[in-house]
Structure formats: structure tokens, C-alpha cells
Amino acid sequence: MKFFIDTANLQQIKEANDLGILDGVTTNPSLMAKEGIKGEENILKHYVTICEMVGKNVSAEVISTDFDGMVKEAKKLSALHPAIVVKIPMIKDGVKALKWCSDNNIKTNCTLVFSAGQAILAAKAGANFVSPFIGRVDDSNWDGVQLIEQIVHIYGNYGYKTEVLAASIRNPLHIVRCAEAGADVCTCPLSSIMGLLKHPLTDIGLQQFLEDHKKSQA
């Protein structure tokens, strides 16, 4: 399973990248705003900085909601760096824009996906990634991981090439359960990635090893 980090924070991207296990980055307009990045020029520059840090799979989202606007933005974003993946929302014109990008060799990530039906449309339109938001599904009292299982199953039935990118991850257990469900990618906050490290028996065991080593040196 690939690991993406879901942030526009350069410090956090660096920390995850330094671990050596990072395969990409996803951003969205809310995450960009959280970092205080304002104005088109600064936003585009920020994407390039992330691309240069990570080198692959950097999702940058369009703001337009009509076909022509989305295509115009997709061209501009994809020209920034070869690592750019254009994030397009699951709306009617978004499906058309996904197909246009697929026909014109622009990589895409279909975002704001909350049902298997939407995931089928994304795959049919040739999206490279589909992003079901599992945390938000859980928040609405449905089962986010079950949605991942369903999409993985359907894509397997037809050999769809679209990668299932579990998004809106809230904790380390989400990552493990998405891996069990066969997600191709998880995009996670740094806290969830680091949370995978934690086990009290590791800490207790390490402390014991170090104490015993000290005794053998006395």
C-alpha cells in the first residue's frame, strides 16, 4: 500500500518524507488555506515546492466547477511539474473533465467520493485515483472502511486501473483497516502515520534491552 500525507504543511511533509516511506502528498483548498497560502501565484509556487520535495504524486485541486474552467486549471496545474496529479471533484462536469484529462495524459485524482456508484463513474472516466473520504463517512454514521472494501471489490470485478486512495483518515487503525480492505493508497495526517509506530511493549522491551546491555558493560 502506498502512503501519502494529507497536508500542505512543509514541515510535516519533510518529516514524513525523511522517514523514507512517503509515496506522495494530497492537498485541498482547506489544507492550503490552513497554511495561510494566499493568491494564485503563491499557491502555484507552493505546489512546485512540494513536488520538488517529494518528487511524485502531488495532488493539487481545481477550484472551478464547470468543464471549461476545470480543463483550463488542469492544463495549468499539470504544466507546473511532472509530479502533479489534478484533483477533480465528483460532480457532473468533473466526470467530463476526468475523461478529458485521461484522453490528454493528465493524471487525476477524483475527490469528494462517498459512494460506490460515484467510484464506478470515476473509474469509467479514467481517473488515476479515486478518493473516498472514509472519516467523513464514519462521521455520518456509515462505515467508511466498508465503502473501501466495496470499491476494491467492484474494481477487481472489472480490472479497473483506477487506484483506490483512502482519504479523510483520522487514526492509525483506519490505515490498518484500509490495508486489510485492499486500498491501494492511504492519505493520512502525520499523526496517524506516526501513530503506527506506537506500541507499549516496544517501549518496555527496548528499555529492558538497554538496561541489560548497560549491566553487561559494568
Active-site annotation, residues: 87
* Best CA proximity match to 14, nearest among 62, 61, 53, 64: 53
Nearer to ligand G3P, 72 or 190 (CB): 190
Nearer to ligand G3P, 28 or 162 (CB): 28
Cβ 28 to ligand G3P shortest distance, Å: 5
Cβ 79 to ligand G3P shortest distance, Å: 23
What single-letter amino acid sits at 133?
A: F
Nearer to ligand G3P, 36 or 159 (CB): 36
Beta strands in 51-136 (DSSP E): 58-61, 84-89, 108-113, 129-132
- DSSP state for residue 82 in the 8-state scheme: T
Which residues are CB-neighbours of 76 under 8 A, at least 6 positions away? 44
Contact characters 181-200, ligand G3P, x per CB under 6 A = ------x-------------
Pairing state between β 185-188 and 163-166: parallel
Contact 28, 189 (CB under 8 A): no
Contact characters 4-43, ligand G3P, x per CB under 6 A = --x-------------------x-x---------------
Within 118-177, the residues that bind ligand G3P by CB under 6 A are 131, 133, 135-136, 167-168
Cβ 136 to ligand G3P shortest distance, Å: 5
d(CA 179, CA 47): 28
**64 burial level (CB within 10 Å; 0-12, 13-18, 19+):** middle
Q: Does 60 bind ligand G3P (CB under 6 A)?
A: no
* Best CA proximity match to 157, nearest among 116, 125, 185: 116
Contact characters 70-89, ligand G3P, x per CB under 6 A = --------------------
Cβ 195 to ligand G3P shortest distance, Å: 15
Nearer to ligand G3P, 37 or 72 (CB): 37
Phi, psi of 34, rounded to the nearest 5 degrees: -60, -30
Q: What residues make contact with ligand G3P under the rule CB under 6 A? A: 6, 26, 28, 131, 133, 135-136, 167-168, 187
